[in-house]
Amino acid sequence: MQDFKKLPTVLTAEELIDKIFRRAGKVEGRNPKERAINKLSTISNVSKDYLRKIVEAHPSYDSLPDFYREMVDVVVGIRNLKKALAALKWADGMIQKIVSKSIRDVKSGKNPASVLRSTYGRVASVIEQIDEELRFLNDAKNRMREIPVLLDLPTLVVAGYPNVGKSSLVARISTVKPEVASYPFTTKKVNLGFAEIGGKRVQIIDTPGLLDRPLSKRNAIERRAVLCLKHLADAVIFVIDPTETCGYPVERQIALLEEIRTYFHLPVLEVYSKADMHDRRDKPAYSAITGEGIDAVLEEIEKMLKKIYSQTSTVMAPSGQTSTQEQHS
């Protein structure tokens, strides 16, 4: 799978021009003509290698699995990425043309120094024209680091209203230690953790909070959570904060739960958070602060996983390939 953390850093136009001409500046030759040709070849090679390395480091966005394609679209925008990569290809082509022509000119007897000077100017001008795209690609690389690389494991998605205690639960039951804070939308990105539940390795995804509102009104932070539910979840752990100290009434939280049930047709485990602050026990209740009820929640998760994997002999992996039950047992 594409690991977006491995995308290369991208130089600005000024830095790239500097890199190319510094390398060309070091090249020598036995006479002015040969030296000019060597320098021109270096300009061509360095710029070609650099621009192609950037372009080739990016996957073909249209053929990515749905989750990754839609996440890239939410995080940076695929159209903009494609436009930027096309601009780099354009610049590569232009530079190759300019330099080939210059090499022919030198070979046919034109003044090497003046050909070299005009080539430097034209190549620099082409690169300056893609400065915005180079900066965009560097920024995109930094932003795409947030996209997690999922494994082919049973996947639990922890969802609920903002500030209800999702991240606190995920921190308790998995390897990941997400940020916890007393305000909504603390979690802005998808956090991936792993756990062993009932002897099975599972991945647990902490998602940003969702409000009960139509998909078209959802912001980019919420859409990250929707994509996890849509593409990754084998089951959902839905966290309800009955104390309403999250700042949202229980009815709104339940309305969101119903919406998730309607849209995603997934097994859902409903749990109460903040058990240290209330006595409702008609659903599994846990406290991430005292640890009360955590084991009971884990047992419920185990039961739910057993049910899922006994009902189906094959399950759909997030990548769209089917994986057999044996792999999970």
Closest CA to 158 of 112, 132, 195, 106: 195
Residue 54 binding partner per list Mg ion, ligand GTP, none, with a CB distance cut-off of 5 to 8 Å that depends on partner kind: none
Does 187 help bind Mg ion (rule: CB under 5 A)? yes
Does 180 help bind ligand GTP (rule: CB under 6 A)? yes
Q: Which one of the spans 96-104, 146-154, 158-166, 195-203 is the region binding Mg ion (CB under 5 A)?
A: 158-166
Does 102 help bind ligand GTP (rule: CB under 6 A)? no
Does 167 help bind Mg ion (rule: CB under 5 A)? yes
Shortest spacing between CB 185 and ligand GTP, in angstroms: 5
Structure tokens at 293: 């009820």
CA 23 vs CA 38, 103, 130, 198: distances in Å: 11, 17, 20, 59
Site string for ligand GTP, 188-217 (x = CB under 6 A): --------------------xx--------
Q: Which one of the spans 4-12, 77-85, 163-171, 281-289 is the region binding Mg ion (CB under 5 A)?
A: 163-171
Of 186, 200, 270, 300, which lies in the binding site for ligand GTP, with binding defined by CB under 6 A? 186
Q: HEC profile for the chain?
A: CCCHHHCCCCCCHHHHHHHHHHHHHCCCCCCHHHHHHHHHHHHHHHHHHHHHHHHHHCCCHHHCCHHHHHHHHHHCCHHHHHHHHHHHHHHHHHHHHHHHHHHHHHHCCCCHHHHHHHHHHHHHHHHHHCHHHHHHHHHHHHHHCCCCCCCCCCEEEEEECCCCCHHHHHHHHCCCCCCCCCCCCCCCCCEEEEEEECCEEEEEEECCCCCCCCHHHCCHHHHHHHHHHHHHCCEEEEEECCCCCCCCCHHHHHHHHHHHHHHHCCCEEEEECCHHHCCCCCCCECCCCCCCCHHHHHHHHHHHHHHHHHHCCEEECCCCCEEEHHHHC
Residue 55 binding partner per list ligand GTP, Mg ion, none, with a CB distance cut-off of 5 to 8 Å that depends on partner kind: none
Q: Which one of the spans 34-42, 90-98, 147-155, 158-166 is the region binding ligand GTP (CB under 6 A)?
A: 158-166
Does 149 help bind ligand GTP (rule: CB under 6 A)? no
Name the residue nearer to ligand GTP (CB basis): 119 or 253. Answer: 253
Does 164 help bind ligand GTP (rule: CB under 6 A)? yes
Dist. CA 197–CA 234, nearest whole Å: 14
Of 128, 276, 300, 302, which lies in the binding site for ligand GTP, with binding defined by CB under 6 A? 276
Q: Which one of the spans 29-37, 56-64, 175-183, 294-302 is the region binding ligand GTP (CB under 6 A)?
A: 175-183
Name the residue nearer to Mg ion (CB basis): 166 or 328. Answer: 166
Does 253 help bind ligand GTP (rule: CB under 6 A)? no
Name the residue nearer to ligand GTP (CB basis): 182 or 262. Answer: 182
Does 168 help bind ligand GTP (rule: CB under 6 A)? yes
Residues engaged in binding ligand GTP (CB under 6 A):
162-168, 180-182, 184-187, 208-209, 273-274, 276-277, 287-289
Residues engaged in binding Mg ion (CB under 5 A):
166-167, 186-187
